[in-house]
Amino acid sequence: MDMRDKPDMQDADLALKLYDLRRETEMRKARAMIGEVVAGGSWKDVEKILDYEHPRNAHLRQVTGYWEMVASFVLRGIFHPAVYLDTCSEALFTLVCFKPHMEQIRARWPNFMMRTDEIARDIPALRERVEHLDAMMTKWREETASRKPARKSKKKGKTKAKRAKR
C-alpha cells in the first residue's frame, strides 16, 4: 500500500462525494439496517439477512459493498487513510458490528468485508479506532444483555394482560 504523506484537495473532494452518496434514500435505509439488525444481533438475525431472498439482503449488499469500495480506494492510494478515518469511520463501526459473526459469514461469503478488514488491520490509526469501537460494542452488548429480562415459559391460557382487558 503506497501512501502519500499528506491528504490533498482530491481527498477532500472524494470525501464530500462519498458523503453525498451516503445521503441517498436507499443507502440511508441500508446504513440504518446495520444498527437495527446487526449491531447486537444474534447469529440467527444476521444469518437471515445473508439469504438473497430476504427483503433486507439488498441493503446488506449495498452498504457493505459501498464500504468495501471506499476501503479499496484507501488500499490503492486513491483516498488518504487519515481522511477516511475522519469521514468514514462508520465503515469501521459496520465491520465491528459483524465481527462476532465473521467466521460464519465468511464460510458463506469468503471475501465479506475483506478490504475494510485489511485496512483496519494494516493502518495503525484505523486499527486503534476498531479496537476502541470493539471495546465500546462489547460493553454495550454486555449492558444490553444484563438488562434483558429472563424469558418466561409460555403457558396455555390467557395472560394477565389479556385477562385485565376483559
What's the average model confidence in pLDDT over 135-163? 67
* pLDDT confidence of residue 104: 97
Q: Is the pLDDT of residue 24 over 50?
A: yes
1: in domain: no
162: in domain: no
Q: What's the structural domain count of the chain?
A: 1
Q: pLDDT tens across 90-128, in order?
A: 999 999 999 999 999 999 999 999 999 999 999 999 999
Q: HEC string of 28-78?
A: HHHHHHHHHHHCCCCHHHHHHHHCCCCCCHHHHHHHHHHHHHHHHHHHCCC
* pLDDT confidence of residue 163: 46
* pLDDT confidence of residue 5: 83
Total-model pTM: 0.83
124: in domain: yes
HSE (side-chain half, CA atoms, 13 Å) at 144? 10
80: in domain: yes
- Which single residue is written with the C-alpha cell 482530491? 10
Q: pLDDT tens across 49-95, in order?
A: 999 999 999 999 999 999 999 999 999 999 999 999 999 999 999 99
156: in domain: no
* pLDDT confidence of residue 142: 80
* pLDDT confidence of residue 141: 79
What residues make up the domain containing 131?
Answer: 9-145
21: in domain: yes
Mean pLDDT of the residues in the chain: 89
40: in domain: yes
Burial of 126 per CB tally in 10 Å (0-12, 13-18, 19+): buried
Under 8 Å between Cβ of 120 and 126: yes
What's the average model confidence in pLDDT over 25-33? 95
Under 8 Å between Cβ of 91 and 67: yes
